Amino acid sequence: MLDSFFKRDFLTHKQLNALRLYKYKAMDRSFISNYILKHYWNWCVQFFPMSMAPNLITLTGLFFMVFNVLVTILFVPDLNDTTTDNHRWVYFSYAAGLWLYSTFDNVDGKQARRTGTSSPLGELFDHGCDAINCSFAAILEASALGLGHSKASVILYGMAMLGFYLSTAEEYHTGILYLGYVNAPTEGVLLSCVVFVISGMYGPSVWKLPLKEWVKRRMASALPQIVAEMPLSHVMLSIVGFLFLFTHAPACLYAMYKVCKKKGEPFLRTMLVQNLPIATYITAFYFWIMSPYSILLSHHHYILFAITTGIVFGRMATKIILAHLTQSDFPKFTVLLIPLIIGALLTNIPLFIPSLSNRPLITPKFEYLFLCGYFLFAVVAYVQWAVVVIHSFCKFLGIRCLTIPSLKKVD
Model pLDDT for residues 306-365, shown as the tens digit of each residue: 999 999 999 999 999 999 999 999 998 899 999 999 999 999 988 887 766 666 677 889
In this structure, is residue 346 part of a structural domain?
yes
- The percent helix, strand, coil of the chain (3-state, each to 5) is 70, 0, 25
58, 126 Cβ separation under 8 angstroms: yes
d(CA 393, CA 144): 39
Question: Cα–chain-centroid distance for residue 289?
Answer: 18
d(CA 28, CA 178): 6
DSSP 116-152: T---HHHHHHHHHHHHHHHHHHHHHHHHHTT--SSHH
| pLDDT at residue number 226 | 81
Active site residue 301: no
Return the bridge partners of 341, or none.
Answer: none
Residue ranges of the chain with pLDDT lower than 50?
A: 1-2, 4-5, 408-411
Question: What's phi and psi for 10, nearest 5 deg?
Answer: -105, -20
In this structure, is residue 6 part of a structural domain?
no
Residues with Cβ within 8 Å of residue 263, at least 6 apart in sequence = none
In this structure, is residue 328 part of a structural domain?
yes
| pLDDT at residue number 405 | 79
H/E segment holding residue 178: strand 177-179
Q: What angle do CA 302, 306, 308 make, to 5 degrees?
A: 115
Cβ neighbours of 209 (radius 10 Å): 13
Q: How far is CA 142 from CA 187, 195, 292, 306, in A?
A: 18, 11, 21, 11
Residues with Cβ within 8 Å of residue 337, at least 6 apart in sequence = 277, 280, 281, 284, 312
In this structure, is residue 258 part of a structural domain?
yes
d(CA 75, CA 56): 29
Domain count, the chain: 1
| pLDDT at residue number 359 | 66
Q: What SS3 class is residue 386?
A: helix
Cβ neighbours of 210 (radius 10 Å): 16
| pLDDT at residue number 218 | 57
| pLDDT at residue number 228 | 79
Catalytic residue among 13, 39, 87, 127: 127
Cβ neighbours of 152 (radius 10 Å): 18
In this structure, is residue 329 part of a structural domain?
yes
| pLDDT at residue number 1 | 44
d(CA 52, CA 217): 55
d(CA 118, CA 262): 30
301, 295 Cβ separation under 8 angstroms: yes
In this structure, is residue 8 part of a structural domain?
no
Return the bridge partners of 27, or none.
Answer: 178
- Residue 318: domain span: 17-397
In this structure, is residue 341 part of a structural domain?
yes
Average pLDDT over the chain, rounded to whole? 91
What is the four-CA torsion angle of 241, 247, 249, 253, rounded to 10 degrees? 170
d(CA 72, CA 87): 10
Residues with Cβ within 8 Å of residue 155, at least 6 apart in sequence = 237, 241
In this structure, is residue 58 part of a structural domain?
yes
| pLDDT at residue number 2 | 45
